[in-house]
């Protein structure tokens, strides 16, 4: 008599968590405001209605590790001149603190719930990519222009950056590949549908043409090629197919071809000369702009290497550095962030911030590799790659996506592939 109500309450609690998590995963694609609202609801449910479960020392240590970066965000507000921007960052990046607490001390997400959440996210990602392609086809039929069928112009989802959508595709592909090889090697309808979705997301990434995202895609393919593919024929065909796909994408995707040409062009004509008023009057590729940004960022880091400029003063400091180095293309006509999360953090919080971020990424990666957790390892590797050329945690979607999935991967006890 006394055990059934407790069991029913526990099941109800798990359902609320699962529904909120699926809602957050889906709204990240289509409705950014809903993901923030659901995050608040989930936080309130955990704080007011869920008793914190006992946790191991390792769990408490990981919660502190993931939350340490947000502690720097809070500390950086005290020596920021731009308090309004600092307070905005405190609110924007609160998920870095909230999700580790929720998933670290609740322990209500089971292995089956975890897979339903990731499966739902993969489906929402496919629907989001389909929306982009359908709109591109509609624009092509209406105007005759194909600009919305490739490159960054094809991403028309609300507040969605191309590299963030590419990152979502990588997470979905990793999950679908893992599901394909999870239990047995007998062909069935579920495996056929997984292959179709993987091929569709791969096609979308090739059309999108983000270099770092494609590098992450190659890493995922290489992992499953080395670790999970048993067929000798597939071991031969998969690398060749990946190389052919990339070659065709570079040949037929104008956006990716331009990025590739920009990457291999090391001439002085493709380099922005700082301290000279020569950045205006022409268009620059992403590599040239980033190299100039990083040189200006180095000037700031040199002057504030220990504690950085503070949470709210990063963009103001960058704009001043661009102007000082006569990088007028950036200082007067654009507001570029550091386009590198590690550089961005070092500008804000100095070497301390860089070390905290590095530990928050590399230590869990080592744990994931040691525990034979390919999903978590691939998630972190892809995130690390993307952060080389993008300041991912400067975007609200980037903050929520990283903190949500990172905590979900880190604190959900799941069956290992080898145990099945």
Radius of gyration of the chain (CA): 22
Contact 130, 233 (CB under 8 A): no
What pLDDT, in 10s, does the model give residues 318-344? 999 999 999 988 888 889 999 999 999
DSSP 307: T
Residue-level pLDDT at 418? 47
Distance of alpha carbon 98 from alpha carbon 67, whole angstroms: 8
- Work out the percent of the chain whose per-residue pLDDT is above 90: 53
What mean pLDDT comes out for the span 213-221?
A: 90
Tell me the range of 46-50, 116-120, 187-191 where mean pLDDT is highest: 116-120
Distance of alpha carbon 181 from alpha carbon 161, whole angstroms: 31
Residue-level pLDDT at 186? 54
* Residue corresponding to tokens 């001043």: 320
Q: Inform me whether the pLDDT recorded for 36 exceeds 90.
A: no
Residue 399: C-alpha distances to residues 118, 189, 204, 391, 404 (Å): 18, 36, 23, 10, 8
Among 182-186, 267-271, 318-322, 409-413, where is mean pLDDT lowest? Answer: 182-186
- Summarize the chain as % helix, strand, coil (round to 5): 75, 0, 25
Q: Inform me whether the pLDDT recorded for 187 exceeds 90.
A: no
Is the whole model's pTM more than 0.85, yes or no?
Answer: yes
Among 4-8, 31-35, 206-210, where is mean pLDDT lowest? Answer: 4-8
Q: Inform me whether the pLDDT recorded for 307 exceeds 80.
A: yes
Nearest residue to 94 (alpha-carbon basis) of 38, 36, 24, 41: 36
Among 211-220, 282-291, 387-396, where is mean pLDDT lowest? Answer: 282-291
Residue-level pLDDT at 239? 75
Q: Inform me whether the pLDDT recorded for 308 exceeds 90.
A: yes
What pLDDT, in 10s, does the model give residues 142-169? 998 888 888 889 999 988 999 999 999 9
Distance of alpha carbon 289 from alpha carbon 193, whole angstroms: 41
Check residues 276 and 141 and name the one with the higher pLDDT: 141
DSSP notation for 364-408: HHHHHHHTT-HHHHHHHHHHHHHTTT--GGGSHHHHHHHHHHHHH
Q: Tokens in use for 72?
A: 């720097």
What pLDDT, in 10s, does the model give residues 282-301? 778 888 899 999 999 999 99
Q: Inform me whether the pLDDT recorded for 348 exceeds 90.
A: yes
Please provide the distance, in angstroms rounded to a whole number, between the alpha carbons at the two ends of the chain. Answer: 36
Q: Inform me whether the pLDDT recorded for 6 exceeds 50.
A: no
Phi-psi region of 272 (alpha: psi -120 to 50; beta: other; left: phi over 0): beta
What pLDDT, in 10s, does the model give residues 241-252? 778 888 888 888
Contact 259, 207 (CB under 8 A): no
Q: Inform me whether the pLDDT recorded for 1 exceeds 50.
A: no
The mean pLDDT of the chain is 87
Check residues 396 and 286 and name the one with the higher pLDDT: 396
Residue-level pLDDT at 390? 93
Q: Inform me whether the pLDDT recorded for 419 exceeds 60.
A: no
DSSP 43: H
What mean pLDDT comes out for the span 177-181?
A: 81
What pLDDT, in 10s, does the model give residues 76-126? 999 999 999 999 999 999 999 999 999 988 877 888 889 999 999 999 999
Contact 182, 414 (CB under 8 A): no
């Amino acid at each position: 008599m006394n055990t059934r109500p407790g069991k029913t309450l526990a099941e109800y609690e798990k359902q609320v968590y699962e529904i909120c998590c699926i809602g957050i995963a889906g709204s990240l694609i289509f409705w950014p405001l809903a993901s923030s609202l659901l995050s608040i609801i989930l936080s309130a449910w955990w704080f007011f209605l869920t008793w914190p479960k006992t946790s191991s020392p390792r769990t408490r240590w990981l919660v502190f590790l993931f939350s340490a970066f947000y502690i720097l965000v809070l500390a950086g507000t005290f020596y920021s001149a731009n308090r309004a921007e600092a307070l905005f960052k405190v609110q924007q990046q609160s998920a870095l603190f909230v999700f580790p607490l929720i998933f670290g001390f609740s322990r209500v997400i089971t292995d089956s719930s975890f897979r339903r959440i990731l499966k739902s996210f993969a489906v929402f990602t496919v629907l989001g990519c389909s929306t982009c392609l359908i709109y591109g086809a509609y624009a092509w039929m209406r105007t005759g222009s194909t600009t919305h069928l490739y490159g960054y112009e094809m991403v028309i989802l609300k507040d969605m950056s191309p590299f963030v959508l590419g990152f979502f595709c990588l997470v979905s592909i990793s999950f679908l590949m893992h599901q394909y090889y999870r239990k047995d090697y007998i062909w069935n309808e579920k495996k056929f549908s997984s292959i179709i979705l993987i091929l569709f997301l791969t096609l979308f990434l090739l059309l999108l043409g983000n270099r770092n995202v494609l590098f992450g895609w190659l890493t995922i393919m290489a992992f499953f090629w080395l670790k999970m593919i048993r067929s000798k024929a597939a071991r031969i065909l998969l690398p060749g197919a990946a190389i052919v796909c990339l070659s065709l994408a570079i040949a037929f995707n104008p956006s990716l071809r331009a990025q590739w040409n920009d990457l291999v062009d090391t001439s002085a004509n493709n380099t922005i000369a700082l301290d000279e008023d020569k950045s205006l009057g022409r268009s620059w590729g992403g590599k040239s702009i980033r190299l100039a940004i990083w040189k200006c960022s180095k000037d700031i880091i040199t002057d504030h290497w220990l504690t950085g400029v503070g949470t709210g003063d990063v963009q103001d400091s960058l704009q001043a550095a661009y102007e000082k180095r006569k990088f007028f293309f950036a200082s007067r006509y654009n507001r570029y962030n550091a386009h590198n999360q590690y550089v961005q953090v070092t500008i804000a919080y100095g070497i301390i911030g860089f070390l905290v971020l590095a530990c928050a990424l590399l230590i869990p990666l080592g744990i994931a590799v040691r525990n034979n957790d390919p999903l978590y390892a691939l998630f972190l590797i892809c995130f690390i790659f993307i952060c080389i050329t993008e300041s991912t945690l400067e975007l609200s979607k980037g903050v929520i996506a990283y903190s949500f999935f990172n905590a979900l991967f880190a604190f959900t006890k799941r069956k290992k592939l080898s145990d099945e």
